[in-house]
């Protein structure tokens, strides 16, 4: 399927020598998917590119998805739906809150999304609620396109299957250890499917920020196999999926190691990292790379990153640093 044309690709692959020295890796490349060129969508632009193309092909007129209050994906989905001329209905975990509760909610509403709350703080309840809302909309005559939290469907993950072709074209034979922040798993699943399909022995490691590593690895393998089936390519096996636990103090909560990594990236290379995805993944990179050449896949999170910086200027010193994410 041809992408909808949302993301501006290829994203740059840049050397980060000062950050490499600070982290103690032989060299460091950064794949700049914070620069995918659409709204503040970061890695989600690639997934939405595939999802919106599929939605259009199916004649959908409303995108239905969801996540937690702070989900980067839901604000990106709201922007993507607006761009594609679709209505957007978002299902968020938890009781109703005002738009000021989180910058991602404010952004989603600004992009014109309708938001419904499950009333249940358990984020897994969102999946069933997305299907229920889609069924309700269909019964009312709409043509909904439902996609799971994080855009982590087989179609969404194909956005990162094709990113492997893009990266291999830029790597020029180099063989770095790739580290990428992993939440719902669509990004890593696409990368794993791509590495297996291209036969390239590239080591890709997911830094899990929201779930235990074994749980993520199982989800990612399942999704990567679905991507392979969709494209009639070889299926990955369990050994192809590598995940480390990068949650630190917990899902959605900034960590001192992550904050240090983010400050180092900012000061050495001007890279802006968010506190709960990219910062934690970068903090995990030195142990994974163990001195070898590495590649950090920057997945964005810019809205959260800037919001965190602004919060530093406004919040009382006693305020908690906890943030919620998908
Ligand atoms: C900034 C950022 N990086 C990484 C991820 C993880 O992507 P995935 O959900 O595809 O694992 C997300 C997910 O929301 C994100 O917002």
- Provide the residue count of the chain: 326
- The alpha carbon torsion through 230, 235, 238, 244 (nearest 10 deg) reads -50
Residue ranges and CATH numbers for the domains of the chain are 13-42+153-314 (3.40.50.1100), 44-151 (3.40.50.1100)
User: Given ligand 1 and candidates 150, 154, 325, which is best to mutate, with the most ligand atoms within 8 Å of its CB?
Assistant: 150
What was the pLDDT predicted at 101?
93
* pTM (2 d.p.): 0.95
Average pLDDT, the chain: 94
What was the pLDDT predicted at 201?
86
Model pLDDT for residues 265-309, shown as the tens digit of each residue? 999 999 999 999 999 999 999 999 999 999 999 999 999 999 888
Pocket of ligand 1 (CB under 6 A): 42-43, 72-73, 150, 152, 181-188, 274, 277-278, 299-301, 326
Buried b (16+ CB within 10 A) or exposed e, 231-250: beeeebeeebbbbbebbbee
Residue 180: partners with Cβ closer than 8 Å, 6 or more residues away: 187, 188, 191, 204, 205, 206, 207, 281, 296, 297, 299
pLDDT of 320 strictly over 60: no
Model pLDDT for residues 164-177, shown as the tens digit of each residue? 999 999 998 899 99
Q: Which residue has the tokens 């929201």?
A: 210
């Amino acid at each position: 399927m041809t992408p909808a044309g949302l993301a501006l690709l290829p994203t740059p692959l840049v050397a980060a020598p000062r950050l490499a020295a600070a982290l103690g890796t032989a060299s460091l490349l950064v794949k700049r998917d914070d620069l995918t060129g659409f709204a503040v969508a970061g890695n989600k632009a690639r997934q939405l590119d595939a999802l919106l193309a599929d939605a259009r092909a199916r004649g959908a007129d409303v995108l239905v998805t969801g996540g937690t209050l702070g989900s980067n994906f839901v604000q990106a989905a709201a922007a993507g739906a607006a761009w594609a001329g679709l209505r957007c209905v978002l299902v968020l975990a938890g009781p109703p809150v005002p738009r000021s509760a989180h910058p991602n909610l404010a952004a989603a509403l600004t992009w014109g999304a309708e938001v419904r709350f499950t009333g249940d703080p358990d984020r897994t309840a969102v999946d069933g609620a997305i299907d229920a809302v889609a069924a309700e909309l269909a019964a009312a005559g709409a043509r909904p396109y439902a996609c799971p939290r994080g855009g982590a469907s087989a179609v969404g993950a194909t956005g990162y299957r094709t990113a492997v072709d893009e990266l291999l074209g830029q790597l020029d034979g180099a063989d770095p250890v790739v580290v990428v922040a992993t939440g719902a798993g669509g990004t890593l699943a696409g990368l794993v499917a791509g590495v297996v399909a291209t036969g390239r022995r590239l080591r890709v490691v997911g830094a899990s920020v929201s779930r235990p590593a074994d749980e993520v690895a199982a989800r990612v393998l399942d999704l990567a196999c679905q991507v392979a089936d969709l494209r009639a390519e070889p299926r990955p096996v369990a050994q192809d999926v590598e995940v480390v636990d990068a949650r630190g103090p917990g899902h959605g909560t900034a960590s001192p190691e992550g904050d240090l990594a983010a400050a180092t990236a900012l000061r050495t290379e001007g890279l802006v990292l968010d506190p709960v995805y990219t910062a934690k993944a970068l903090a995990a990179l030195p142990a994974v790379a163990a001195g070898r050449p590495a590649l950090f896949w920057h997945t964005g999170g810019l809205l959260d990153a800037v919001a965190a910086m602004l919060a530093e200027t406004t919040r009382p010193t006693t305020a908690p640093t906890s943030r919620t994410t998908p």
